Amino acid sequence: MAALPQFLGLLAVLLVVTLSTQLALTVLGHHFVFDLRSRLVKRILDTDIERLEQLGNATLLASLSSDVRNITIGFVRLPELIQGVVLTLASVAYLAWLSPQMVVITVLWIAFTMGVGWWLVSKVYRHFHLVRESEDSLYKDFQSAIEGRKELALNRDRARRFLMSAIPPMPATTVTTSSAPIPTTSVPITGLTL
């Protein structure tokens, strides 16, 4: 019974430390994003115009938005990783004190789990390059739509062709609600009437 107050105290300390690190990291993350975007803009301004033309606006926009977002997400998740590693090491040390044989089994299980996780994540990373290329293409289509909005507003056939080439129609699917299925064939785009 004497261990319960100590355990609850350790949980309270863990909660306070976790909360304070998350708060500090959120503030640090905002400064990090601001600094990263500022440096990217400065590098863009310092780059030769020929190189900027070669890269294209879509690639630059994707770098300033989605790339920075992905880096930020990784940066914000760092404390969770560190906390998980610390808790795992503390648990293994406590288990070693209780039962050295069980530590061997646990370490082997953790190694196996990490190996499978590493293999699965490496398969996902292969597709990140394809996602990045798709984002570049998407930003290029967005930019074309924004830059050509006046011409597209005047020429409805061209606008329809652009919409079909930039955003291919979704395959016919059925959305099930509580009462009856509703067939859908395309994505509505707010403010664009064709």
How much is the pLDDT for 172?
Answer: 52
Which residues are bridge partners to 183 per DSSP?
Answer: 174
Give every residue of the chain whose pLDDT is below 70, as ranges: 1, 146, 149, 152, 163, 166-194
How much is the pLDDT for 116?
Answer: 95
pLDDT tens by residue, 61-82: 777 777 777 777 777 777 778 8
How much is the pLDDT for 108?
Answer: 93
> Which pair of tokens denotes residue 170?
């979704």
How much is the pLDDT for 115?
Answer: 94
Residue 185: phi and psi, rounded to 5, are: -130, -15
> Which pair of tokens denotes residue 140?
């290029």
Q: How many CA atoms lie within 13 A of 66 on its CB side?
A: 16
- 3-state secondary structure (DSSP) of residue 63: helix
How much is the pLDDT for 111?
Answer: 92
How much is the pLDDT for 2?
Answer: 74
Other C-beta atoms lying within 10 Å of the C-beta of residue 42: 10
Tokens 């440096």 belong to: 39
How much is the pLDDT for 170?
Answer: 53
Q: What pTM, to 2 d.p., does this model score?
A: 0.46
> Which pair of tokens denotes residue 5?
């107050």
Q: Where are the domains of the chain?
A: 14-167
Residue 163: phi and psi, rounded to 5, are: -65, -40
